[in-house]
Chains A and B, each alone.
Chain A
């Protein structure tokens, strides 16, 4: 039960971050260059994503579960550590906070500066940017769903979590028609990093033959450990940065 809730929550949060990024690109291009070609680009990307899922999905059922857990767990672990590393650097002031509002402004300026090129009645810039943005972020969502769903054998929960996130972000996007700058992105990324790293650690170890004490309950312990470790590293780096700045000012 605990594992299922964490699985749904992990898939939801990770997918929400990707969806916000895709939405920022689509809105930036759509607002400046018009919606027709942009939305056709979004539709084409969603079609390619659906085909990818249709091809990859059934093949996964034939792979032995331990091997799958090892590969998926290792990938999730590396993936999660990347997120966590960036989120810790941002939270401690070593890296600038990612600003969706700024990203939206940049995308809008790029779209305004791009020349007008029509192919097949489509504004090619709007189509390709929306297509690439949705396809890349969508592929990350597909990867998250496959990883979470396959390793635990609960595709239904992973798909539900991801679908809820994508729908929610899309609805909010349509309602506000501007980027979701109020979403505390680094907090979400920090949480997602903790979840991905914890799940990755748990599954990869299982795939390597480990038997966790108390089975699934250990997952809670791993989450607590990764959370405490990350929080401790943020505090340590903040202190280190302040000390370096003070020493620099005194010199």
Chain B
């Protein structure tokens, strides 16, 4: 059981990393891009905006109330 958990933890860390919000925002952005494309809008501009939003939000969360992390 602990090996299974370690295996799961390895893949979680490998794919999702330090901030799950980044993966969640990217997933939501891709879903929205797919939806817009399906209704005929060529939303090529959306994902770069999602990248900016995900990165900025994650950095604000990481630096809030600190001057040096480690």
Contact = CB atoms under 8 A, between A and B. Distances in A.
Contacts of A233: 55-56, 59
A222 B48 contact: yes
Chain A CB within 10 A, most for which of B15, B55, B68: B55
A110 to B, nearest CB: 19
A6 interface: no
Contacts of B37: 208-210
A245 B67 contact: yes
B59 A205 contact: no
Contacts of B67: 93-94, 241, 244-245, 248
B66 interface: yes
Q: In terms of DSSP, what is the predominant structure of the interface of chain B?
A: helix
Interface stretch (A84-92, A111-119, A184-192): A84-92
A226 B63 CA distance: 20
Interface stretch (A52-60, A72-80, A152-160): A72-80
30 contacts: A74-B26, A74-B27, A75-B15, A77-B47, A78-B15, A82-B19, A82-B22, A85-B18, A85-B22, A85-B62, A86-B18, A89-B63, A89-B69, A93-B67, A93-B68, A94-B63, A94-B68, A95-B68, A96-B68, A197-B51, A205-B47, A208-B37, A209-B34, A209-B37, A210-B42, A210-B43, A211-B44, A212-B44, A218-B44, A230-B55
